[in-house]
Amino acid sequence: MRSGRIKVLAVAALFLLAMAACSDDPEPGDGTSSPTESPQPSEEPSEEPAEATVAVEDSDLGQIVVDAEGRTLYVFLVDEGTESTCYDDCEASWPPLTVEGDPVAGDGIDGSLGTTEREDGSLQVTLDGHPLYYFASDETADDVNGQGVGDVWYVVAPDGAAIQG
């Protein structure tokens, strides 16, 4: 019974940490501090973005969008159109999928791939107009630990829609 409480507390702490990283509070990380390099998922993408292939993979949530290595990609419901609103502390937990050039649609992608320019000039991949992100706490390619975080982060369907179920 004690280990169950510890697990619940650990999950609650992770949730609170993720929520704090995406808050709008005027604390450090509100866009007034200088940008810092954000951590990447454990199986981190290449330091220098090149070609980004976005594909579809089967999961417990149905068909979801992943990168070329099978790492889960997410959308942020707070984003405004194609513009990313995830910077600073938020970006540390939710690194963007970036590319140099044009992204490549792998098998099963139904939505339109594109890019949007971030504040630092890098190009973030979009699917049907929604910027795509990783979740830094996903440790393996099949992880979907970011699903539903804060009721604003969701895995992506092949047509670019958030899978909220």
Element (H, E) at 19: helix 2-21
Tokens of 95: 């690194």
**Does the model's pTM come out above 0.75?**
no
Nearest to 66 by CA among 105, 13, 19: 105
- pLDDT (tens digit, 0 to 9) for every residue of the chain, 165 residues total? 444 444 433 444 444 344 444 444 333 333 323 333 333 444 444 444 456 899 999 999 999 999 999 999 999 999 999 999 999 999 999 999 999 989 999 999 999 999 999 999 999 999 999 999 999 999 999 999 999 999 999 999 999 999 997
Query: In whole angstroms, what is the distance from residue 152 CA to residue 150 CA?
Result: 5
